Amino acid sequence: MDTRFAITNYHDAAAVTKQLDDLISQPIYTIKPEALKAYEEEYYGKKCVKSKEMIDEAKTVIPGGVQHNLAFNYPFPLVFTKADGMMLYDIDGNEYFDFLQAGGPTVLGSNPPEVREQVIDLLNTCGPSTGLFHEFEYKLAKKVVDSVPSVDMFRMLGSGTEACMAAIRVARLATKNKNVVKMGGAYHGWSDQLGYGIRVPGSKFTQSHGVPLYLYKHTQEFFPGDLDSLERVLRRNQFTGGTAAVFIEPIGPESGTRPIDYDFNKGVERLCRKYGALLVFDEVVTGFRIGMAGAQGYFGVSPDLTIFGKVIAGGYPGAGGIGGKK
Ligand SMILES: Cc1ncc(COP(=O)(O)O)c(C=O)c1O
């Protein structure tokens, strides 16, 4: 296992949470309307004319004008024509540092030539898809299995959302249990069953409009970082069909915006073993980013199933996968 990790000192979760609480208790200062207006006029009004024109057009055929939440922007989304390493360039020729990196998956930077050349070669020889098998599929699976300690087998899927859905099925089949438990506030894609308790811990079904309540009959949440809260749910589930899986974002819910203690994941693993549930590490954000061995390598935990997102294809869209023990 590659034991180099991108985290040198793990934070003190209680101290960070206190800082967050202190910050939230501060009064909210809004930007002065004149200052905002000047910025809108000076920057967006003068330098982003072509973006505005295109987004106005796009709004007539795309809801909101963009295809991904990350692309929303005030006063209007920008249109990007070039991405290179750490730089982005918009349609008006403005240059930006790319702190977003596609929301995570382009860990090598945007459009690295080593990856691009391989992709072009593949397109030249096979096109985008044959529906059959290519040697790269084996090579990728081998690389994942060799890198991530708990993964003996790896299956490619279309997205992180889809991989989480697959994990629920595998967990129910493997354990014969019914319930699925997740950390409040965590995001595991937008499938119906996992739309529970998203963004705000304790929010249950209230953030997922359009999902009938009965679909949450076997989904529960527990309070972030709170092992007692998890154990209460697991204990209760023993009388209502048992727990098939506990889903974890290993650095804390919502990409780690609510910090958790270093020992928390090990505690979750222990409880999963005690109550016969599979432990599912959702490494969409952490996989190959915290290190080649993922968050599980960093925390020294051996999940039963691991979820991967677009990082698996270096940021090329429509990719995800599930890995697990044989
Ligand atoms: C932790 C986590 N799980 C799952 C997903 C869903 O992945 P996808 O957008 O590929 O469906 C995301 C997406 O941001 C995520 O951050």
- Assigned token pair, 153: 């087998």
Long-range contacts: 213-218, Cβ < 8 Å, 24+? 218/178, 218/179, 218/180, 218/193
> 278 with 161, same domain?
yes
Secondary structure (3-state) at 320: strand
> 128 with 148, same domain?
no
Q: Which atom of ligand 1 is nearest to the CA of 189?
A: 6
Last residue of a domain, one of 111, 132, 153: 132
The arithmetic mean of pLDDT across residues 247-255, rounded, is 95
The arithmetic mean of pLDDT across residues 110-122, rounded, is 94
Q: How many residues does the chain have?
A: 326
Distances from the Cα of 214 to the Cα of 166, 192, 219, angstroms: 20, 10, 10
The Cα 154–Cα 256 span in angstroms is: 25
Q: Which pLDDT value is given to residue 315?
A: 86
Q: Which pLDDT value is given to residue 264?
A: 98
At residue 30, does pLDDT exceed 90? Answer: no
Q: Which pLDDT value is given to residue 12?
A: 96
The arithmetic mean of pLDDT across residues 254-277, rounded, is 96
> 119 with 260, same domain?
no
Q: Are 199 and 206 in contact (CB under 8 A)?
A: no
Closest CA to 304 of 261, 231, 244: 244
Q: Is residue 301 part of a domain?
A: yes
Last residue of a domain, one of 91, 114, 132: 132
Q: Which pLDDT value is given to residue 8?
A: 92
Q: What is the 3-state secondary structure (H, E, C) of 177-194?
A: CCEEEEECECCCCCCCCC
> 100 with 183, same domain?
no
**pTM for the whole thing?**
0.94
> 283 with 204, same domain?
yes
193 ligand 1 Cβ < 6 A: no
The mean of the pLDDT values for the chain is 95
Q: Which residue has the higher pLDDT, 170 or 28?
A: 170
CATH of the domain at 152: 3.40.640.10
Q: Is residue 319 part of a domain?
A: yes
Long-range contacts: 38-47, Cβ < 8 Å, 24+? 40/75, 44/75, 44/76, 47/92, 47/94
Q: Is residue 14 part of a domain?
A: no
Query: Helix crossing, 264-275 with 227-237: angle to 10°?
Result: 10
- Residue 32: pLDDT band (50, 70, 90) is very high
Q: Is residue 154 part of a domain?
A: yes
Q: Is residue 20 part of a domain?
A: no
Which pLDDT tens digit goes with each residue over 283-322? 999 999 999 999 999 999 999 999 999 999 988 877 999 9
Secondary structure (3-state) at 39: helix
State the distance from the centre of ligand 1 to the C-alpha of 190, rounded, in angstroms: 8
Q: Which atom of ligand 1 is nearest to the CA of 186?
A: 1
> 275 with 316, same domain?
yes
> 194 with 319, same domain?
yes
> 97 with 204, same domain?
no
DSSP-assigned states of every residue in 44-73: IIHH-HHHHHHHHHHTTTSGGG-SSGGG--
Q: Are 58 and 65 in contact (CB under 8 A)?
A: yes
321 ligand 1 Cβ < 6 A: no
Strand order in the sheet with 80-84: 80-84, 87-90, 95-97
Which pLDDT tens digit goes with each residue over 51-106? 999 999 999 999 999 999 899 999 999 999 999 999 999 999 999 999 998 888 89
Which pLDDT tens digit goes with each residue over 145-194? 999 999 999 999 999 999 999 999 999 999 999 999 999 999 999 999 99
At residue 265, does pLDDT exceed 80? Answer: yes
Catalytic residue, candidates 44, 187, 216, 275: 187
- Assigned token pair, 220: 């529960």
Last residue of a domain, one of 132, 167, 197: 132
> 98 with 146, same domain?
no
Q: Which pLDDT value is given to residue 193?
A: 94
CATH of the domain at 127: 3.90.1150.10
Q: Which pLDDT value is given to residue 171?
A: 98
- Do β-strands 153-157 and 320-324 pair in parallel, antiparallel, or remain unpaired? antiparallel
Q: Which pLDDT value is given to residue 50?
A: 98
> 153 with 251, same domain?
yes
State the distance from the centre of ligand 1 to the C-alpha of 15, rounded, in angstroms: 28
For 83, the domain range is 48-132
The domain total for the chain is 2
Q: Is residue 237 part of a domain?
A: yes
Q: Is residue 192 part of a domain?
A: yes
> 179 with 273, same domain?
yes
Q: Is residue 204 part of a domain?
A: yes
- Assigned token pair, 89: 């360039």
> 102 with 163, same domain?
no
The Cα 272–Cα 294 span in angstroms is: 20
The Cα 68–Cα 71 span in angstroms is: 6
